[in-house]
Structures are given as structure tokens and as C-alpha cells.
Chain A
């Protein structure tokens, strides 16, 4: 069948069916034994645009496409989901997925992708999630598209639907590559500096902590198992979430409201007030207080521990270290310095500031563990030098000295 006939045959169908058919045709075009020719690629892209996303009308002129209604979007997503789930070949699946959503420019496709990903999370659909994970990795976890996807997912699953925490925790076992990339993207969204104090919502933090803590190899999973990509494509270097998580944990003491004890006092004092006011619900409140979940500060401590574990398991037996970029760690120094400066201007002593010391301690621990396990790549000297500019901290001092000598 010639390429033009292909389009003509597809035009006989109305929307949902034509999308189904188009997927089959694209698979035939792209997933052959050999790499597809340029012409095949162009036709495949046209088919995707016209028959799957309906971006152009039947006569094929772009820009005047009707687009999809939200219902049709749902139909499309259903079809895609079904197709991806039934696809046996990992490479074929990733090839199709990347050609569907690989284009960086279309906001519409990104929306469809978001819904698809969200549905996959809702339905715990592993094949789709894995494909999304590959997409994240190939697009780059810190690219605007990935961040947008991550934001949509967070909104859907951590704000709008809050009853699915258990299923979410399970995902780390079924689709670790996706989760790893997702966390990497998420770390980019929060805790950048001290002025905005954009902190992750608590339930997100809980889930991430549980993922990292219970599965030390998770963070490295994207690197450990390289994605099956279409032949001829360039695999992107998988970034790990470790650097971002180290940033979270280190800066958390500076960002969280004043004191751990204070937070607990506050959290307890609110139910106390309620007890006074509403005597009848006294009992229920007491029970909730007893089985109280961890406070955010505690969660960060737990996460920190999880990260350190992950770092230890991140050691690669062969090849250069890939887990943590030294540059990312070095980027923390200015933020901490800003805080220290603030403390100084308020006329306080740096060594007495518990938050700062806690922050430096955690940083020191993370640096020590990662250096000791050989997880750091990039300019380690530069990292040590920038750490040296930080306020005085005993642990950090020791760490810096040790490793400066080593080099």
C-alpha cells in the first residue's frame, strides 16, 4: 500500500476508529526491523497529527484543525491506553509513545499526555507509566514540559484525589523508572531558595519519603535499567533525584517554621482548643493524636536517612560515578550563605543557630556518604571549595579536610 493510500484508507473512518486504525498503521511504519526512512517518518507524523490528535482537518492543512473536545480526548486516551497496554514489545511501545508525544511544542498533546499519565497513575497501568518514564527521561526531567506534567500529576493525585495514597506507594515497585524520573522532576518544583519557601505538600512528601525509604535502589533505577529506545535514537543521560532530595533535606530545617518542638506544640495545641470547645468529639481527637502521622520535620529526617541509604546503594561497580552531580551540590552553598548572612544581620551568632547547624550537618553527611561511595561526578574540587565558604561546622570541616587530602 502506498503512503498516500494509507491516508485515504484512514479517512474512511470517523474519529475514535480512525485513531485506533492509525495506531496500527504507525506501528507498521515505524517499528520495522530497520530504521524507518525519512519519508515514512514524515507520513507517520502527518497521520498522528491528522488522525490521532485531529490537529489538522481532512484536507491536511495545519492550523485549521478542529482539535479534540474533552470527551474525544478521553476517548483517545482510552484507545492509547489500551494500545500501550496490549503492546508486547517494549521498544515498539516506546517508539510509538515518543513519536506521539515527543514533539516539544504542542500544548495540546502535552495536555493529552498529562491526562494519560494521570489515568495511568489512577489505574496503576504499568506499561503506560513506564512509557511515560521513558518520555520523562528523554525530554529531560527538568525541562518545562516535564515539570508541567509533574505539576499536573501532583495536582490530580495529591490535591484533587487524596484517597489513593496506598496505590501510589505501590507504584515504586511496579514502575520504578517512572517514579525515579517523576521524583527528579518534582524536586525541581520545590525548595529552590529560602525566599519563596515553596514547600511540597505534606502528602506528597509522605509518599516520596515512603518510596525512597523503602526502596534504596529506586533512585538509581532509571540508570540501572536503560530504556529500550527505538533504534537510532540517542538515549539521554538519566538524572537521579538524589541531588534534589539532598537539597530538600538540607534546606528543610531552614525553610520549615521555626522549631521542631514549636511545630509539634502548634499541632497539638490546635486539637487541644477543639477539645475545649467541642466536648463530644473529645475521644476521636485523642485517638487521632495518638496515631499521629509524622510531622513534616520528622518526614524530612526520615527522607534524609532514605537518601543516605540510596547513596550507599548507588555505587556502581564499573564505570564513572553517575548518581550525583557535584555542581548541583555546590549550588546549595550560596543559599545557605544567604541565610547565614541574614542571621548575622540580625546580630546572632552562627554557631548558636540550631537550624543552620542542622542544615550543615545534613549537608556534611550527604556529601560524606556520596563522596565515600563514589557517587559524585563532575568537579569535586569545586564542590569542596564552595563548601569551604560555608559557615563553621565541625562535621563539614572534617569532611572537607578528608577529601581535600584524598585528591
Chain B
């Protein structure tokens, strides 16, 4: 650029500016601003004048922005604002060397503006565009300053009492400044500091700096070498400040554990000890302060309460105050709110704290629970899950009763609904605990990964059950006044369905330890099942003390119990097995006593499971394994004999056997004999069945349904065939195959046979199972006839005889065969097959064909017992003659039966 032209341009600018400013109006402001900016750049020495002009512009712009809200229309205002927006970026970007000039200018301007506008609300002022621009410039330039210059600027701002907000804003934008502001603010005296710190409060990093400043101050006080007298008022000052300012309090208490470490507390005790009491540190004001702190402070206080008398008193004071304050419904107490937020911590402490801590926290929890029902529920749930000793459970009782009995004004109309409400909460709590415990069991646990599972490790569900059991025990002991209302019992009763579902779930777990090797599931599930069953066992389901449980839940529990029963059958330990099955029986008895539906379901489930799923446990033998393909009969028969054919030799050999089972093997005695009925498991099952039928007249009804069920389960297609016995020929021609199948099924299942016997005992239930008896009789007739020409001691014959004995004994027991016929049982072993066939056909089959065994034959006597009067149902001679002839023929051997069977008969007939 040419020197002269540059020179003239500069002087022209200068001229314009100087005379423009002195004759300024708002219209020319943008022009002048532009000139000013260019002057600033080319002629830095003119900065004083230019900045002075700028500050006038800013002040006017602030005026405009504040006074008029709709200044868009005003051209003057617009030009001012335009100038401001021109100045802003320029001054922001001047750079580091300018900052020492710009920053103080900004600060002074801010002070001027805020002092002039001290009557304008801060928010209006802050939202004004020019102020925002100005603050931007300030922030930008402050960051470029060195530490001392920064400090000077901040000090300038802090000295003005009106521009605390500006400090707040600037600091918010530039975090580094907080470190400067915070200590200075603390030095201002309580009220001013509070106002200023409130400005800082919204700024997240501010808290950290403030904390540091506070801690520096604090640690100065308690340092060993500090002079106690001179620094004594710092702590009261801090307390005072904290009582006035939330931010200070928050900064103080944020990491209170670190601030007040044990060492510090000891030192503090030394500093404070002995001297006069501080003003502002009296217990009452401390309690006020503590009520605004958070839960961690409380925990700290609790920790120190062990060692310091003062803390104990303070704690008691605090708790009483809290309890009092809680009576005002609309009051929110920060300590309680924070405790509610940190409730996990508090609950944990409740579990593992010392006694003082536990009791204090329980009181606190009562207050929290009173205010927030959801916490009440979760507290109950938590304690039910994690409580491991009586003391904690006692605390739970205390919390429950305490919360429910918090002061309620007497004039409230809904005391009863209130109780209902709490009862509902407790129920929900129990349900949650149940659900959570089940869920916890499926979570991966460290002890399983590390492989250091404690020996007595129990599942969470188990613990939960133990806790519930204990509570129920306390409740039923009637010695605990707080449990008079049977809150827990009712809650458990209400969650019967879930308990049932849980039992079903746990009993259904057949776990592969490899699969769940990291969760509680790798533990044996049986202890949990036992515990669950015991809980159920303790629940009152009679309906005497509360509403009857719903049908749905009863059914659920029944199903679960059946499952549990079968699991118990598999228990290796005999005592556990017996105890478990007894519990199951008790449960079934309780459940089925009141509900026929439950009985039906129970019986069906028991029988079905015993016959088809768990049949092995009851003696049913495994199906013979399918033979290897080579052994298939069809293949064997296709193989031809020796290659070299001799004359007259067999050209081929056919193997005999059962199709599908290969060549007939030499059957052992073991396999051929009937599986025994009298086994422990069978007896236990029968016990369970009987338990289902317990009650007045229940046995007959139950047995009836058992009989029907047996028919259904063995062969559903004869369910509806009715009672009559057809002609023997009819079976031979039509139904023999089905009957063979039915008999095989019957024989294979000891459960079935045992159940038939029970039915026989419970007359007249057996009538309804006559299809099964019929099948046995028909097949016996058929088979024995076929065996006539064989030798008499083969295993098959033995088996036939055993079946015969059983058939006869069952029928006799069920009074289907009246007096003389009933003695066939004793007669049978002595008879030859030929004779047996005759007896069976003439005496059994024909008799029952002509006298259909139906419940109608049985009369009910006064005691409710059904029986068939032997005197009224003498079988005609037609059916007994065969017996008589056989006995007469073999009188030498069977003579002792004759008088028993026939003499009385004759005597009577002679009468």
C-alpha cells in the first residue's frame, strides 16, 4: 500500500470516528462501530477511545433491550443491536495480547451495567442480547489471561455487590475460573457467599472446586500446627454457611467419607475438645443441618456413634426430630429423600451393621416406608430375601408394624382401609421377594465360577422360605404382639398361587450340574423344595381364618404338590423321603378336603404320573430293549441253513419268537413273575391317594374316581362300556385282543393293581373297574385252557396262577363274589388248570354275568359304610355246584373247605 494513501486513509478513519462520535446519533452507530473496529486493528493506540465508545454502545443497547421487548420494529434499537453483534466477535477474536486490555474493560462494563440496572431482575438482564455478547467477550478474554490477571478481574467483579450473576455466568462458561472464584467466595461472609455460590450451583465442575476450597479451609483449621484460637470460628462459619446454602452443603457432604476420615475426626475432636461451645454448633441446629444432608452423612454419623457419646446423642436427637417432622404430610426432608434414593446402601447396612446401626436404620426405614409405599414393599422384599438371622427378621417385623402404625389422626375415616392398604403392601412385598428370589437363583454367582461354594450354601428361595417359615412360626406362637394381625400369614396365603408355581418350578427342575454350573441351580434343588413345601404346609387353607383360597391357586398347589411328591419318592435319604411325602400328603389332605375339584385333579395327576411317567419307581419293569437289527426274526428266518444239502435233511430252520422282540429267549423267573405290589414307594403313593380322599365319605367317592381313572388310563376305549359282563363266547370272538392288552397293562403296573385293591377295600368302587377284572378273567380262561396240555410248572403257569390269585382276592375284597364263591381264593392253588377253567367259567364268569356287579348291590348302612349283605345275596346253586363237585371229588385234599363253604349254606337253607 502506498504510504501516503495509507496515511490519509487512517487519518480519514480517525477523523470520521472522532467527529462521528462527538456528533453521534443511533443511526450512525453501525458505521462508527465499523470504523472503530478497523481503527482498533490498524491503530491500537486508539483503543482507549474506541473501547470507551463501545461501552457507550453496549450500555445503550442494554437499555434498549431491557426496556423494549418488541424492539425489532425500532430502527434505532436495531442499529444498536447490530453494532453490538459486530463488536462481539471482533473483541472475542483479538487474541492473547489484547486480553489484558479487553478483559478489564469488560469487567468494568459489566460492573457498570449491573450497578445501573440493579433494579432490573437478573434474569431479564442476563437474557438481554448485549449482555450475552458482553459475557461472551469476557469469558473469551478471561481465558487468555494469566492467573494473576484472572484473579484481579474476578476480584473486581466480586467487589461489586451487583454482579454476582455475571461471575456465575462467566464461571459457568469457563470452568477453570471456578478454582479462583470458590475460595474468594468463601471469604465474602455468609450471606454474600451464599448468593454467589447459588450462581455457581448449576455448574457441575463448580462443585468440585468448591469442595476443594472448602476442604482446604477445613483442613487448615484442623492441622496440627494451626493456632486453635484464631481459627476456631472457621468451623462455625462453615456450618453457618452450610445451613444457608445448599451448594455448600452439597459440596461438603458429597464425599464426606473422605473428608471426615477417622484421622480427621480424631483431630477434630482434639481441636474442638475442651473449649467453649460454638454458637451455631448446638445440637438443634446441627440436627437441622443434618436433615438437609444425605444418607452418607447419616451412615458416617452412625459409624462414629460407636465411639463418640456426642454422636449418639445427636443421632437420637435427629431420629426423634425426623419422626416428629414426618407427621406433617407435606413436608419433604432431604435426608429422607436421599436415604430413599440410597436405600440399597441403607438396607445393606441394616444387614451387616452393628446393633445401634441396625436399630437406628430400622427407625429411619420406617419413616421412609411411611412416606413411600414402594420402598415399603421393596424393603419387605429385600429383608425377606436376605435376612439370615432372627435379629434381622425381628427388625423386619418392627418395620412392618411400625410403618403400619405410624401416627394416623383419629378422625380419619379410613383406618380400616389403611390397614387393608398396608396388608396389600405386605402381600406385594412377599410376592416380590418370591419372584426376586427365584430370579436370583438363576443368576450367575461368583462363588460358582471360583469354585469356592460354601458347604451350607442354600438357594435364595430356600432362604426366603426359611424366613417366611420363621415368621409364620412366630405368628402362630401368638407371643409376638406385632404379629397379632397375621399380616405375614395373610400375605403368604394371598400369594398361594405363586408359591405353588414356585414349588412346581423347583420340583420340575431336573438339572444337569454341568449346564448351570455358575448359578444356584447347580445346588441340589430338593432342600428348596422341602422348604417351599413347608411354607405351603404352614399356610392356612381351611378358610377358617381368612377367605378360602381361589380354585385356581388350589389347583396350582395340588399340581405342585404332586410333582413334589414324586420328587420325594426319588430322595435317596429315607428320612427325607418319608418326611417329604408326609408333607405332600398333609398338603393334599388339606387341599382336597375342601375341594372336589382339587381331589379329582390330585388323584388323576398322581395316578397318571405313577403309571406313565414314574412307573419305574413303582416296580414296573423296563420294556425289553429292541433287539439289534440282526436279531430280527424276519432276518433270521431269511437266512438259510447249511449250504451243503443232505438228503432228507431240513432245508431250513424257522426260529420261534415274538415278532418285534426277536427270538424267544429262555425267560428267567425274575422277569416272568409279577412285579410286587408291596413296596415302600407303592405304599407311599397309596398313602398319597388316600390323603386325597380323606374326609367324610370322601373315601368312597375318591375310590370311585380312582376306579374310573384306572379304567380310563389302562384302556380309554372301554371307559363307556358299562358294567355288564357279556357272554364268555362273545369275549372269545370279539374282544379278546383288547382284553389281553388290558391284562398286560394291569400286570405290568403294580400301581394299578395296588390301586384296584384299595378300590376293592372301598366298596362299592370296584364295580366301576369291572372292565379290568373282566379282562383278567377272560384272559385267564383263555390262557389256562391253552395251557392244559403243557406241563404244569412252567413259569407261564406260575404267572397265570398268581394273576388268578390276585383277581380272586381283589374281587373277594370288593365283595363281588359272595360267600361260598369267595373261597375260590383258597381253593385255587390246589386245582388243576382244567378245574380252574371250569370254576372260572361256571362260578365266576357266569355268576357275574348274571349278577352284574353294580354299586346298586351295595347298601349303605347307618355308619355310611357300603356293603353287601351276605345273607341277601346267596348265589344260587347253579353257580356253586361246580365247586361243590370238585371239592367232593377231591375231598381227601380239599375237604377242610367243604364245611366252611357249604355247610353253613345248607344250614341256612334248611332254616
Contact = CB atoms under 8 A, between A and B. Distances in A.
Nearest to B1: A167
Given A71-B52, A160-B97, A174-B3, A82 B11 contact: yes
B39 to A, nearest CB: 9
Contacts of A74: 14, 17-18, 46, 49
B6 A71 contact: no
A124 interface: yes
Contact of B11 (A69, A78, A161, A162): A78
Given A70-B52, A71-B49, A115-B46, A161 B41 contact: yes
Interface in B1-60: 1, 3, 6-7, 10-11, 14-15, 17-19, 21-22, 41-49, 52-53
Interface of A: 69-71, 73-75, 77-78, 81-82, 114-115, 118-119, 122-125, 152, 155-157, 159-164, 167, 170, 174
Contacts of A115: 45-46
B18 A71 contact: yes
Contacts of B42: 122, 161, 164
A277 B864 CA distance: 100
A152 B53 CA distance: 22
A156 B46 CA distance: 10
A123 B49 contact: no
A122 B14 CA distance: 12
A118 B10 contact: no
A162 B3 CA distance: 18
A71 B1 CA distance: 28
B858 interface: no
Given A69-B52, A70-B52, A123-B6, A81 B45 contact: no
Nearest to A162: B97
A156 B7 contact: no
B98 interface: yes
A318 B128 CA distance: 73
Contacts of A78: 11, 14-15, 18
Interface residues of B, number: 28
Contact of A156 (B21, B44, B52, B94): B44
Contact of B44 (A70, A75, A82, A160): A160
A71 B506 CA distance: 93
A162 B97 CA distance: 10
Contact of A122 (B21, B43, B98): B43
Contacts of A170: 3
B447 to A, nearest CB: 47
A75 B14 CA distance: 8
Contacts of A157: 44
Contacts of A125: 7
22 contacts: A69-B52, A71-B21, A71-B22, A71-B49, A71-B52, A74-B17, A78-B14, A78-B15, A81-B11, A114-B45, A115-B45, A115-B46, A119-B46, A122-B45, A123-B7, A124-B3, A124-B7, A156-B45, A157-B44, A160-B98, A161-B42, A161-B43
A122 B9 CA distance: 11
Given A122-B45, A123-B43, A160-B98, 16 more contacts: A69-B49, A71-B49, A71-B53, A74-B18, A75-B18, A78-B14, A119-B10, A119-B45, A122-B43, A122-B44, A123-B10, A124-B7, A152-B45, A156-B44, A159-B97, A163-B41
Q: What are the 3 tightest A-B residue pairs by CB atom distance, in nearest-first order?
A: A118-B45, A70-B48, A160-B44
Contact of B14 (A114, A119, A162): A119
A115 B94 CA distance: 20
Contacts of B43: 118-119, 122-123, 161
A163 B18 CA distance: 24
Contacts of B49: 69-71, 73-74
Contacts of B94: 160
B74 to A, nearest CB: 26
Contacts of A81: 11
Contacts of B52: 69-71
Contacts of B97: 155, 159-160, 162
A160 B3 CA distance: 21
Nearest to B21: A71
A296 to B, nearest CB: 18
B48 A73 contact: yes
A214 B52 CA distance: 41
A280 B221 CA distance: 54
Contacts of A156: 44-45
Given A73-B49, A167-B6, A161 B44 contact: yes
**Residue among A69, A81, A125 facing the most chain B CB atoms (10 A cut-off):** A125
A23 B1 CA distance: 31
